[in-house]
Amino acid sequence: MTAVNEIIAHMGDPTEADKALVNKAFVFSQKAHEGQLRKSGEPYFSHAAAIGLRLATMGMGPRTIAAGLLHDTVEDTTVTAQQLKEEFGDEIFFLVDGVTKLSSVRYYGRDRYNESLRKLFVATSQDIRVLIIKLVDRLHNMQTLEYVPKEKQLRIARETLEIYVPVAHRLGMGKIRKELEDLAFPYVYPKEYERVMTLMKQKAGKAEELLERERKNLQKKLVEAGMTHFQTSYRVKGLYSMYHKLMRKEWNIDQIYDMLAIRVVLDTVEDCYKALGVIHEFWRPLPGRMKDYIASPKPNGYQSIHTTVTTHSGIIMEIQIRTYKMHHESEYGVASHLIYKEKTQGGDGNASWFSNFAPSLFRPFSRHQQPPSQSDITKDRPDKEKIPIWINQIGEMYTAEKSSGQEFVDDMRKDFFMSRIFVFTPNGDVVDLPVGASPIDFAYAIHSEIGDHVAGAKVNKKLVQLDTELQNGDIVEIDTKESAHPTAKWLDQAKTSMARRHIRSALEHERENR
């Protein structure tokens, strides 16, 4: 099991106070989880320790590491919120509490609500560090998924692909995203996983050997060109990412040019362009394959130059050229900007990452997910006002450079919870309604036939009045009767114009037929 010294060794330049804090959290959590076991048979605390270590290797600060070590204490042990607050202060408690609250945002298996769930997930987090801890928590749970009962594996793996992976992607956290994808892939799409594996083995059986040889060739060439400060490495494309690309290329693996890639990491942007010249002189580039994401970064802030070349031994591969800073950002995304900023003494997490990250957070997905179409959002809701305006505005709103990262999350949360609530059907479908909505609005949001015959409603299994104001996370059940009909009173009780329009037309209809 991870030792506390290992965690501390991975922290960037910790003060004595930083080390003491991490040590205290380690000992406290170990004691709290004493006697508990993971499904794997390991002590429960090994999970918390693994998360602390991963957060440290990502460069997160001492309070985030401490919160990671403590993240399951309030939910799963006898430790109370009050105790945690007294021992570790408000900030660490706030982080732990945030991670605990996130457990209630769950994927219920309905694809059409995934976008809402992602937003709910981000908005519930309150602090970007809560999201990072939660992603690392999920990563470790995925790494140990084989020990979880079969019937739960699929739900957890799908939730990972539908909620966690897109969030990691939007936060620019490429490394953790790839790991989560490849861990979930075989559980969610076992047949496709086998197919991709087989194809890749045929095509790239000796990939590592080959890449290593070409990497050395390139290294030599760059040195000959007078370049000294640089690093080279290689990567084989992730399986899940390959799967998506294969589907787009009709499963023709020869059409995929970035399965194998060599990375060149240098000091400056100038060096990057110089290296590109050297590479194109050495290996023949494929025409039209050069992409300059340094000059034009991807929506999530990713920067790099990509080019596809044919090596002298006839291998087609991608070369990715970037600075150290860009490399770090592409691996850790938003987390890379928080690094070392969180000291136990002074300094806040003021984040310059924000201007890169914020506008991309709600852009349509570029790679794996289909963007939610307007028709998804407006389904059954023809009126314009039903589209949450903030969904459209949020991209522009947060480009102001002055705002700090935390302000962004705060504002988003406020907007999110001030304008919309999310309630569930008994089946776990998510229904998105304006704040102040009643069971009548809910019924009409499901279907006008249900709305027109509401006889009663239950919220969280309790009978309620039809004018009850629904709250975030409520489970709402509607009883219908053929004999039940809209009344004038309903007009006051309904908030959505769709419900009001249906009620009005039903009332008119009744008047005419009287």
* Catalytic machinery residues: 75-76
Q: Which is nearer to Mn ion, 72 or 441 (CB)?
A: 72
Sequence-ordered list of residues with C-beta below 8 angstroms from that of 473, at least 6 positions apart, any chain: 104, 422, 423, 424
How far apart, in whole angstroms, are the C-alpha atoms of residue 365 and residue 379? 20
* Least gap, CB of 137 to Mn ion (angstroms): 4
Q: Which is nearer to Mn ion, 138 or 237 (CB)?
A: 138
Degrees, nearest 5: CA angle 58-401-352 = 20
Q: Which is nearer to Mn ion, 97 or 137 (CB)?
A: 137
* Least gap, CB of 56 to Mn ion (angstroms): 16
* Least gap, CB of 1 to Mn ion (angstroms): 15
How far apart, in whole angstroms, are the C-alpha atoms of residue 117 and residue 430? 8
Which residues are registered as beta bridge partners of 320? 263, 306
Length of the chain in terms of residues written: 514
Candidate segments 131-139, 149-157, 297-305, 320-328, binder of Mn ion by CB under 5 A: 131-139
Cβ count near 230 (within 10 Å): 18
55-84 mask for Mn ion (x: CB under 5 A)?
A: -----------------x------------
If one asks whether residue 258 binds Mn ion (CB under 5 A), the answer comes out as no
Instruction: List the interface residues with Mn ion, window 132-171 (CB under 5 A).
Output: 137
* Least gap, CB of 73 to Mn ion (angstroms): 10
How far apart, in whole angstroms, are the C-alpha atoms of residue 66 and residue 87? 12
In the sheet that holds 454-459, the strands lie side by side as 462-464, 454-459, 476-480
* Least gap, CB of 70 to Mn ion (angstroms): 10
* Least gap, CB of 138 to Mn ion (angstroms): 8
Residue 176 CB-density burial (10 A; 0-12 exposed, 13-18 middle, 19+ buried): buried
Calculate helix-pair angle for 128-143, 45-57, nearest 10 degrees. Answer: 120
* Least gap, CB of 165 to Mn ion (angstroms): 18
Q: What are phi and psi of 235, to 5 degrees?
A: -145, 150
The CA distances from residue 366 to 116, 166, 298, 372, in Å, are 18, 10, 9, 12
* Least gap, CB of 48 to Mn ion (angstroms): 7
How many positions of this chain bind Mn ion (CB under 5 A)? 2
How far apart, in whole angstroms, are the C-alpha atoms of residue 475 and residue 485? 23
In order, the DSSP letters of 447-507 are: -HHHHTTEEEEEETTEEE-TTPPP-TT-BEEEEE-TT----HHHHHH--SHHHHHHHHHHH
Q: Which is nearer to Mn ion, 76 or 91 (CB)?
A: 76
The CA distances from residue 482 to 185, 240, 445, 446, 471, in Å, are 46, 49, 18, 17, 28
Nearest to 234 by CA among 168, 317, 293: 317
Q: Which is nearer to Mn ion, 163 or 242 (CB)?
A: 163
Q: Which is nearer to Mn ion, 33 or 263 (CB)?
A: 33
Q: Which is nearer to Mn ion, 72 or 127 (CB)?
A: 72
Q: Which is nearer to Mn ion, 30 or 311 (CB)?
A: 30
- Residue nearest Mn ion, CB atom distance: 137
- Residue 267: half-sphere exposure toward Cβ, Cα within 13 Å: 3
Residues that bind Mn ion (CB under 5 A): 72, 137
